Amino acid sequence: MRHRHLHEENRKSWNTATRAHNSHKKDQAAFLCGGGSTLFPEEIELLGSIEGSRLVHLQCNAGQDSLSLAALGAEVTGVDISDEAIDFARTLSIDSDIPAHFVRADVYDWLAEAECNSFDIVFCSYGALCWLSDLELWAQGVADILRPNGRFVCVDFHPFSMVFDEHFEITYPYFAGGRPLTWDDGVGDYVGMAGDALAPSGFVEGETRYNNPHPVHEFQWTLAEVFQSLIDAGMTIEQTREYPFSNGAKLFEDLVEVEGHRFTRPEGKPNLPLMWGVVARNQK
């Protein structure tokens, strides 16, 4: 069941967080204009060549990854619920001289209004699926806007890792049944905590007294639930990946940073899946 009122609270929380996140990043326009990219190898590998493709980036945040995709030759549309994120993305597109189209909308509203069979690739990544309150409705919307033989590509944090709190104590359910988890302190300043790992243009101290007054609501979906929603929507799973590291995000306090701005468990500690990826093809 779609929870429109919870999405609206999430929008307010993301507006506050987006301002703080971008305060920690040096001249992003110059970085992108000079050939810099915010993409990690995992999404590039799953996407493959995108030159000349029509691509929509759902839940695109402030547009850095969308513009990095556009720089690879795709015609990119970015969609996000946050007003602050889309305003920033539009300005960044102009300042970096990388063309892309950005839309401020709840992803469900946008999917319902988008033209059927209009995109070659639907892409989302890194903390995208946890904001979806109705997985089946979302998957059907994704399938509807894909052209025949079009692809859905996602790289996200692994849902199993989300059962732990920051101290690696099992705290949250893996099988949540669509019930929302609410955090009264809102979306955090994870960019400030990650330092250079999420600021490839260069890290600056930026916001130091961060406080988010807007609560936020997340939804835990198992891998099986995600795969089945895609299958039920008429897509075929072509590739799937699991990774023992998280790109750019220190999800737990004992993770250590390794090459490539990846965070993983310390040497000698058992590993576990921290990210996963999927490629599904529309068979309609």
Q: Is the pLDDT of residue 1 over 80?
A: no
Residue-level pLDDT at 216: 96
Position 264 scores a pLDDT of 97
pLDDT band of 153, cuts 50, 70, 90: very high
The tokens describing 89, both together, are 């993305």
Mean pLDDT (whole number) for 255-274? 95
CATH 3.40.50.300 fits 4-282, yes or no: no
Q: Tens digit of pLDDT for each residue in 73-132?
A: 999 999 999 999 999 999 999 999 999 999 999 999 999 999 988 999 999 999 999 999
Over the stretch 210-224, which tens digit does the pLDDT of each residue have?
999 999 999 999 999
Work out the number of other CB atoms within 10 angstroms of the CB of residue 131.
20
d(CA 115, CA 277): 26
pLDDT of residue 194: 87
Residue-wise DSSP of the chain: ---HHHHHHHHHHHHHHHHHHHHTB--HHHHHHTT-----HHHHHHH---TT-EEEEET-TTSHHHHHHHTTT-EEEEEES-HHHHHHHHHHHHHHT---EEEES-HHHHHHHSPTT-EEEEEEESS-GGG-S-HHHHHHHHHHHEEEEEEEEEEEE-GGGGGB-TTS-B-S-S--TT-EEEETT-S--HHHHHGGGG-TT-B-----S----S-EEEE---HHHHHHHHHHTTEEEEEEEEESEEES---STT-EEETTTEEEPPTTSPP---EEEEEEEE--
Q: What is the pTM of this model?
A: 0.96
